[in-house]
């Protein structure tokens, strides 16, 4: 069964992401809201690192955390990309 919204096919994988993202009663708990906050924090951190080139242990830990969050966001967005039809 194919589901379409405004002519766009929604795959079961995409629907799963949407359910996970929007199955919250408080907007601040939704993944898009959290991702926006994470990306802002990552941007601020990376900007500070570029300006202040003195890396310390705390910065390394924060950099690893930023990378983990970026990977999670990328993985979720990849699920929203429909797969090519194999013919």
> Is 49 inside any structural domain?
yes
Inside any domain, residue 3? no
Residue 2 lies in a domain: no
* Each residue's pLDDT expressed in tens, for the chain with a length of 87 residues: 678 889 888 888 888 888 888 888 887 888 888 888 888 888 888 888 777 766 677 777 888 888 888 888 888 877 776 565 544
Number of domain units in the chain:
1
Identify the domain containing residue 75 by its residue range: 13-79
Q: Give the C-alpha distances (Å, rounded to integers) separating 26 from 14, 32, 63.
A: 21, 12, 29
Q: What is the pTM of this model?
A: 0.58
Nearest to 50 by CA among 66, 73, 38, 70: 66
């Amino acid at each position: 069964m194919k589901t379409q919204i405004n002519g766009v096919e929604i795959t079961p994988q995409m629907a799963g992401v949407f359910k996970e993202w929007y199955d919250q009663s408080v907007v601040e708990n939704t993944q898009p809201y959290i991702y926006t906050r994470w990306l802002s924090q990552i941007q601020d951190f990376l900007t500070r690192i570029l300006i202040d080139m003195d890396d310390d242990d705390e910065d390394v830990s924060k950099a690893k955390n930023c990378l983990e969050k970026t990977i999670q966001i990328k993985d979720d967005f990849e699920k929203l990309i429909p797969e090519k039809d194999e013919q």
